[in-house]
Structure 1
Amino acid sequence: MENKHITVFSGSSILVKGLQNRLEDNNISILIKDRVESARLGGFGEHRTAIELQVLNVDLEKAKPIVAEYEKEINS
């Protein structure tokens, strides 16, 4: 099976950082795609919530409950 990254969350840098810490505490490797910074460097704008947090497909099932709990907390 080929390893690939899957987006599990997108939001502001602060929210992404909070989830990053939780996932890394559970030994889940992450990748952050910062479209805001890429857009700035390219000379055009992007919505401030365009930062994506991705996990490897092999870690997806382990990450899902952590992401769901985090989303529940930030939306309450």
Structure 2
Amino acid sequence: MKEHIKIYTGTSIMVNRLSFLLNEMNIPSIIKDYKESGRLAGFGVIEGSTELFISDDNRKKANEVIKNFEKEI
């Protein structure tokens, strides 16, 4: 099983943008949206609680995408 690492935490809009950029470079990602999960379960979670994960194997490949994304924001 592959090890996944968290690379970004923020709003769902920002996480989805970074996920899109990674996908363009053929780097799969996993989004964990705790705010949406909390809403569905009936309790609240603070804003900015969406996390983005990639497999540890793709860390080096993703570094450039992440750096460019941080410049963009």
With structure 2 as the length reference, what TM-score do the two structures score?
0.90
Equivalent residue pairs, number: 73
Runs of 4+ in 1 over 3 A off after TM superposition: none
Q: Gaps (5+ residues) in structure 2?
A: none
Q: CA RMSD in A?
A: 1.1
With structure 1 as the length reference, what TM-score do the two structures score?
0.86
What is the correspondence of 1:15-54 to structure 2 with a 5 Å cutoff?
15-54=14-53
Sequence identity (%): 38
> Residue type of the partner of 1:35?
Y
Q: Gaps (5+ residues) in structure 1?
A: none
CA distance in 2, matches of 1:57, 1:45: 31
> Residue type of the partner of 2:39?
R
